[in-house]
Structure 1
């Protein structure tokens, strides 16, 4: 495990400008995580503001980013677009009423996941992904065909984080994917998406995947392990003040990270990530 001080985090942020691409080391970058947290937050803005890239979270992410497609369906919203260097970002929002969604989440229903034997995923998350899948895949294909050197990043918060994980598996972060170059998956407050077999299948991909959690955030504890769910790796667990973090082990369920705080959880921590007030456009 690795714990960094707030001063070192600040230094890294200052030294990295628009850090889309990894440095090749596979190390966790707090500045890159901050960048994609802004992209995740932008997905909560209105479709019109996202289309014109005219919102505070949009400008905080990258004022020069160009959205090519806003997707929606079944209560889900997201967008696909390109950074100035032509790298592609796919972002998904959480529920438009996060507190109600947490209160009403069904923790038992699962569907068989067709890409791997024995894999099951949460019914609601899978339905949300399928409601926008065709539009997302077509747009990513179109953009990547125009620039085959473009890397792809997938991000999301809350329900959007679960959809981001399913999107990454579909596009390229697995052995049975469409084969797109997924350079990074950054999620924030991600719930457990599927069972242990799904988590293992997800981790057959070569992408860099960081599942960021904030202290006592309730959502990473849902649905419970007791119902057969298992997190994907790798978790990065931030302290309550968000000044320090731990890069957790590769199990997805490191007992020394967020998993240890199951008895005392918080919705407020779910609405604060990387120092950002989430879902406040």
Structure 2
């Protein structure tokens, strides 16, 4: 029986991915990869460029090294059918999505990016792509460190911003304290801001021309300005709300996923509080079912607000 025809170009792509998987978190540069795999540098660079563009690899702009990318998580998820955490999140988000007729998602930081891990989308709503990626650097990603250790929040604040950012640390401290106390976050965005957020999906803003970055940066609020505080929400008055978010925790009490309930409308403060409490309850149920636990926080001010 004739052997099936092999594809050397495809074999080289597979070899690059397999080599980085075997590296177990160690990032490699172009020269090292080409040498260790016996591939010419131009050919290796072409493979790496395409894999980075597709999200299967990530490239560190400072060290010029390559590592595994978040798209591999989505590929692994498809191969396994369902990730356990995503399946649990879906079961607890589905009733909320049906009750309010809105999209609910579960997402997390994977590598250096934010990835959508699960989505429950009602009939007629715009589709949400599982595996969609966003840059994890200011001003994007506050909710992914908000309920974690103060050190994680500080590290995120120390990342190079994807867009020009203004920072009011006193207000940011109030946001952190309020959201940790309530157990959920309420975010407001203007229609222009919502369109910008969608356009930023999968885009590394720092790759935009400087003049474009500055122009887009003018449309982005200071860190924390899009978050409602308790005093901002009049129970009887309507407030424009983009989404409500709540965290899940792992077995060590670290923030794991963020569950979101999209609103995209003006609702009363009382209604916001009701949806926030329901989403926080769903997040607590997911945490418990996955064997996690909420963190025990020290009674002190957050470093990010007191520096």
> Comparing both structures, which one devotes a greater share of its residues to helix?
2
Q: Which has the higher contact order (CA 8 A, sep 6+)?
A: 1
* Structure of greater Rg: 2
State the TM-score, normalizing by the size of structure 1: 0.30
